[in-house]
Amino acid sequence: MQWEVEALEPDELQRLVLAAVDPYIDRDILARQVAHKEEQRRTLSEFFGGWGTVGGASA
């Protein structure tokens, strides 16, 4: 069977791809990676939240 990807609705394409890869996903590793990325986002947010300040005061 052959499909033109452009002929599929985006939601249907996403469903098909996720269904195809789901059996190969290690949920423990995925959870650790998601937690690590969230920690990186928090760290960067805190860093850039203080950007432009010197000694805690606005420059």
Report d(CA 38, CA 48) in Å as an integer.
Answer: 15
pLDDT of residue 9: 92
Please name the helix (run of DSSP H) or strand (run of DSSP E) that holds residue 59, with its range, or none: none
Phi, psi of 50 (to 5 degrees): -95, 5
> pLDDT (tens digit, 9 = 90+) per residue, 5-55?
788 899 999 999 999 999 999 999 999 999 999 999 999 999 988 777 666
Phi, psi of 30 (to 5 degrees): -60, -45
Phi-psi region of 56 (alpha: psi -120 to 50; beta: other; left: phi over 0): left
Q: Where are the domains of the chain?
A: 22-48
Contact 52, 58 (CB under 8 A): yes
pLDDT of residue 7: 86
pLDDT of residue 14: 95
pTM of the entire structure? 0.57
